[in-house]
Structure 1
Amino acid sequence: MFSLVFFSAFITCTLCVPRQYIFVNENKTWTEAQSYCRDKYTDLVTVENEQETVQLLNTVNDYNSIDLAWIGLYDDLNSWKWTLEDSDFFKEGEKHFRKWYSPGPVRYGENICVSMYNAWYEKDCNLLLTSVCYDGRENASAGYVFISLYQTWKQAQSYCREHHTDLVSIRNEHENQKIQHVFSDFNNFETWIGLYGTRSWSDRSNSTFTFWITGEPDNAGYCTAVSFSDSGKWKDENCNYEIPFVCYSELATSRQYHFISVNKSWSEAQTYCRQNYIDLATIDNMTEMNSVMNTVNGSYNGSAWIGQYDDVNSWRWSLDDDDFYQEGEREFRNWFHEPDNSGGNELCVYINEDGKWFDVSCDNTLSFVCYENSTHSYIKISDGRNWTEARRYCREHHTDLVNVRNETENQKIVESTGGGVWIGLYRNRIWSDNQFPAI
């Protein structure tokens, strides 16, 4: 179903997206600052290189009046990853198997890797330990290989990748016991395994750039602040500390549009644009709409295709956190003869008293359920709000609108709320170049 109807000719564009930094001189906690930036701009700032550090510093005219400000980097205590990035190696849930010592990791410092002894321990990645490699090659003489060399975690990773497959990934209790049994002769050695922890950016970007003050992070807190008094370098702080912050906004100002006065179907126009340019036109605001109109410059009075269409399968969850879902959980649905998109504008989802899901207009006014990450609980908000207002409330006061990953969670939400509430699932009209405009 195509939702914006321009017909005869078509318009394509070329895109690059520069960023604008916005310094907000209001004292807020890191979470409050994140909500503010997401509500009014794009997100808390992500810094990808030293040039962007200079740009960030230039957002404040008087360095002497400002010491610290939040940026988007934080330490997600659940963001442990395996170095072996082979999705076929792991079955459902196996990436999340852990065998921590009691009471478990506290994530001290920036470089946190995991060692194995009688249990799993968090360690500074620069320590020198033995290691265990996994060898998945067809001609391998053994699946697990003990390496008696004392190396840092990074050196051990490189060694395993060069001589075998990778540092060992442990998927379940059986493998954990097998490795301990195989190396029982080396039970006095603490060895590296392939699990490590990384800090994350609020906007989920993959930037690996760091700019820490010497001695930082020092476990003062899990959120990151930029120091304007120390050349824009970073330090970790308690996330509840109230300081100013820096947002960023993506400015789509560098798009070039091309008007093609040839009659084609939408699919034919899409194919032509992808072959000769980038894609059919994506339009994010009135400035870009004016650019489109200026491309024609009064020489054409008919209609023209642009890139937006209605993909009935493009359901998404409001909480866009990969670590929150195990394999297949993003796709859980509990429809009741739905979705039917009655009236052509049913883009949001509520759950009824029987636990069944219905698509309705996002402008409806309903109670809603927030998910609270710190306590892993659900909070019903009885105030009637439309879906967008409900999501904004949940993000400001809790974590997000509730996401439902399986039948057990679905039933738990019904029992705790009685149904008739918004959940975090929504469907967006999307652009041909796969951009999802915010609902």
Structure 2
Amino acid sequence: MMVKGCLCVLGLAAIFFQAGYCDTPFCPMDTVKISRNCYVFVQTPKSWYDAETHCSQIYGRLVSLIARPIYDGLMNVMRTTNPGRYWLSGAVRSGNWIWTSNGSPVSRAMWGNRIVPTPSANSCVYLCSNTTKYWARDCNEHLNFICEKNAIIIPDVDNEQSESRIDLPQVDPEME
């Protein structure tokens, strides 16, 4: 009998999903899924530069808030479980505020007091859960930060083909 689905191997565990669930994005347990991405709220204060490096080391990037659903989702998490101030990917490049992870301009609408700070060479953007706005700070100051990672999407595969490619250990029924 042929069963359609996908096989997800996570460390030493393997999970089989039936067809229809395979192309649904999912995130590791230590992240928060919002839309089609995973977000890590890092509670170890670092400079903006070290935060950017940390995110890239875990195959992610500092988050850019260019879509309202992402902003709303992150604010919900910040208000309920992770209040505080968090570095985002916004920084000054060539005299302008941009999201460094994708090159888009930082929206004027979300700045604290609706005043966009004058860009200075070593200024970076952080998000505050109390005010729900962006603020600027010296990039060398230490704050928590939010990393964004792509969700894992496992394509549908033919189960019989996947079993022929993966050597699964046999369990001796007498050992149970």
Q: Please classify the TM superposition score into its range, dividing by the shorter chain length.
A: 0.3 to 0.5
Larger relative strand fraction: 2
Give TM-score scaled by structure 2 length. 0.36
Q: Which has the higher contact order (CA 8 A, sep 6+)?
A: 2
